[in-house]
Amino acid sequence: MKEFKCDILIVGSGLTGLVSAYALSLLGYKIIITEQKKAKKNEKFLVDTRTTAIAEGSKVFLEQIGLWNKISKFTEKIKNIEVIDRSKTNKINFFNNNKNKNLGYVVKNLKLEKIIRSCLIKRKNVIFFYDSRFLSAEYNVDKIIGVFKNKKIISSILLATDGKNSAVRKNFNTLTFNKNYRESALVLNFFHTKKHNNTAYEFFYKSGPLAILPMQSENLNFQSSIIWSNDKKYLSSLVLQNEKLLNDILEENIGSVVGKIKKINSKQIFTLSSHINDKFYEKRVLYIGDSAHSIHPIAGQGWNLGLRDIKKLYNLAKEVKKIGITIGSKKFCKDYNENCYYDAFRLYQITDKLNLFFKSNSFISNNFRSLGFDFIEKNNFIKKQITNFAMGFN
């Protein structure tokens, strides 16, 4: 079995793994990033048709590490957010007065991944190993050894960026707290007749939230993305039915803001669940992004939360590099955990409780939400606090 050595071993080459590798490569670490799938030339590595909502705070970090200038031209700005509960009269309008900042940006996952991969390929201190399924990990004094089906990789630290069903997490039996929402999310991109005016919408129905994110126009067609949480069987039956029925039901829910649906370009259904690890580290192992936590998409903050993990890891690695300490010590891993855990736990709880609160259809809940919406809409201070939170500055 072949052996390879590096400073940092990253297991999982999704968006979180790619950004982690790129950021840390800027600090001079030798990095190996592994992927279970085979790399195939001239074929799309990813078939994910979803979009990513990038918060302003995440954009600032991407600027800091030199990625944003390559990503920005493929994004659509979110300048306003309208939150609507049941009735069109019961709504809150969020906007940002700073003309140099936006509430967020929307980009296709495929485009985002392609850009970051192309940047990483140019980094001489980063090596990709495809067709490398993680099997286990071993320790040797001050090193961790990742064992794969045809190789061993020796490093100072292992970063688990292999998603919600992390093989690394299972290997170490790291405890998790899980929530199954018993519902799914329908994600689709579509052309429509009305301009979106850089406005994102969040409709709250008793069946679950429906979010609309503005996308870049294509071939002079206005385009948006929908994330609709609902009963799994209901969504599956809609997708299997003829497209006209799906269009009619969607237009009934969102036609007032985007007009008629001209064409549905892609659609996927994902089971909704959330989890949080009891800790984000083991000996010489850190969990980043979905391997550490996953949240309900109600606030559109899942990837941004993972990016905040990367930012905190990057800043810690920068500090130890400066004073000449080897990355991956017990203190280093504990510091990462302490810096990241509260932020993730807070958002895990907030999104879970918000989903529960907005799905409630009791008389008391409906009236309480109505009063709350009216109060927030008229209170600019509270609106600013919520806006800053959505932008990733709280």
pLDDT above 70: percentage of residues in the chain: 97
Q: Which of 32-46, 73-87, 104-118, 294-308 has the weakest average pLDDT?
A: 32-46
Confidence of residue 83 (pLDDT cuts 50, 70, 90): very high
Percentage of the chain with pLDDT > 90?
71
What is the per-residue pLDDT for 360?
86
Lowest mean pLDDT among 16-30, 84-98, 294-308, 323-337: 84-98
Please report which confidence band the pLDDT of residue 394 belongs to, taking 50, 70 and 90 as the band edges. low
Residue type, 151: K
List C-alpha distances in Å: 155 to 126, 128, 170, 324: 13, 15, 20, 17
DSSP string, 223-260: EEEEEEEE-HHHHHHHHHS-HHHHHHHHHHHHHHHH-S
Q: Worst-scoring range by mean pLDDT, 33-42, 101-110, 243-252?
A: 33-42
- Sheet containing 104-108: which strands, arranged edge to edge? 51-55, 104-108, 76-78
Mean pLDDT lowest among 22-26, 144-148, 318-322, 372-376: 372-376
Q: Is the pLDDT of residue 259 over 90?
A: yes
* For residue 90, pLDDT beyond 90: no
**Closest by alpha carbon to 18, among 153, 162, 167, 164?**
162
Q: Any idea of the CA torsion for 158, 163, 168, 174, to the nearest 10 degrees?
A: 110
* pLDDT band of 42, cuts 50, 70, 90: very low
**Looking at the predicted structure, is the pLDDT value of residue 372 above 90?**
no
Q: What's the average model confidence in pLDDT over 262-277? A: 93
Say what the pLDDT of residue 153 is.
Answer: 98
Residues 6+ apart with CB under 8 A from 249: 238
Under the banding of pLDDT at 50, 70 and 90, the label for residue 125 is very high
Q: What is the mean pLDDT of residues 365-371?
A: 86
CA dist 321 and 27 (Å) reads 8
The pLDDT score that the predictor gives to residue 43 is 45
Residue 48 pLDDT: 67
pLDDT of residue 380: 84
* pLDDT greater than 90 at residue 243: no
pLDDT tier for residue 150 given thresholds of 50, 70 and 90: confident
Q: Taking residues 76-89, report their average pLDDT.
A: 88
CA 236, 239, 244, 249 torsion-angle sign: positive
Please tell me the predicted confidence (pLDDT) of residue 32.
Answer: 98
Q: What is the CA radius of gyration of the chain?
A: 22
Task: Dump pLDDT digits (tens) for 195-231.
Answer: 999 999 999 988 889 999 999 999 899 999 999 999 9
The predicted structure's pLDDT at residue 41: 52
CA 61 to chain centre: 15
Across the chain, mean pLDDT equals: 91
For the cut 80, the answer to whether the pLDDT of residue 99 exceeds it is: no
